[in-house]
Amino acid sequence: VDKKDAKVLRLALLGYGNVGRAFTALAGEKDAELQARYGLRLVFTGVLRRGGGWRHPAGVAPADLQASGWTASRLPAGATAFAGDGADFAAQCPADVLIELTTLEPLTGEPATSHVRAALAAGRHVVTANKGPIAHAYRALRALAAEHGVALRFESTVLDGLPIFNLAEFTLPATRITGLRGPLNSTSNFVLDRMRMGWSQERAIVEARALGIAEANPAYDLDGWDAAVKATVLANVLLDTDLRPQDVAREGLGAEAMQPALAALPEGYALKQMVEVERDASGAVRATVALRALPPGDPLAHLSGMETGILLHTDTMGNVTLLEGEGGPGQTAFGVLADVIAIARAHGVRSDR
């Protein structure tokens, strides 16, 4: 595809941390491939972080953004500094898509929800890896997106870029997901795995922190709050309900529950902190986070260390299981890129398949 024939998609990036930087790097790596396969050219018309930001109406190519070595004091050539807050940026940055990658605030979902709302109301598509808006305001945001004829995509909110929401939307047509389960908290997976190998819990937590998988406060992981937020996102989207993280039952969790549960584990079984979502006979959706002993035949029992996965119960395919090796910002960035490509394809960009 000739460069001038490529469709340009203008991206505004809100949040430039681990995932934001991994995404701009991936967009740079895939730049030529996106043009060749999809006739698609991505440019950044603005980036904002807490420390400051800029706008560039014509847009900066991914490689130029990286080469610019942008810091708050040194902007890419032709850019002007942006002084407003995240919601101002989402509303005002001249872009087709807002990419929302700010820090998760699990109890309220703010200010990310306000960022997403401002972008949708301004007629921009939104891609986010931030669970907050989907856990706390999915129905309202979905309605706002529909009202403005734009897309709201969030593949990377759960299990990095592993295709869960895109699988359900694009490749499980006319299917009802009736329940799901998975060990979705990496820190708990890792700590239980190492304790099983004989490590002390303290050493396992220190190591999880050193690997960058544990929250600063490990209770957030071990007490099930991280998993409860993920359960809420999955339940609200895949089982079309309207839960909040506070509605998720968290049973028998916490650091002190792990050693006794491991000691009581039958031979050959695996102990996991599991998210479980199911619809009961009355139609109500119930979500739980609990330590569970998985029998050896369970497809999720053999996941070790930082591996994770999810099992979906469907009315067409029976159980569908997805497994992820080691996830991280690179995989999360892939999920963001997959969402951007899905938006481009739905809006007239040539498909290669």
Interface with ligand NAP (CB under 6 A)? 14-20, 48-51, 86, 101-104, 111, 129-130, 156, 160, 328-329, 332
240, amino acid identity: D
Shortest Cβ distance from residue 57 to ligand NAP (Å)? 20
Nearer to ligand NAP, 71 or 319 (CB): 71
Nearer to ligand NAP, 8 or 323 (CB): 323
Nearer to ligand NAP, 5 or 110 (CB): 110
Pick from 189, 203, 176, 140: nearest CA to 285: 176
Shortest Cβ distance from residue 111 to ligand NAP (Å)? 5
**Between the CA atoms of 315, 129, 26 and 305, what dihedral angle is there, to the nearest 10 degrees?**
-70
Shortest Cβ distance from residue 15 to ligand NAP (Å)? 3
CA distance 60 to 66: 10
Nearer to ligand NAP, 14 or 349 (CB): 14
Sequence-ordered alpha helix ranges (H) in the chain: 18-29, 31-38, 62-67, 86-92, 112-121, 131-148, 165-166, 186-196, 201-210, 219-222, 225-238, 255-263, 329-346
Shortest Cβ distance from residue 343 to ligand NAP (Å)? 18
Q: Tell me if 180 sits within 8 A of 232, measured CB to CB.
A: no
Shortest Cβ distance from residue 87 to ligand NAP (Å)? 9
Structure tokens at 261: 């549960």
Nearer to ligand NAP, 38 or 70 (CB): 70
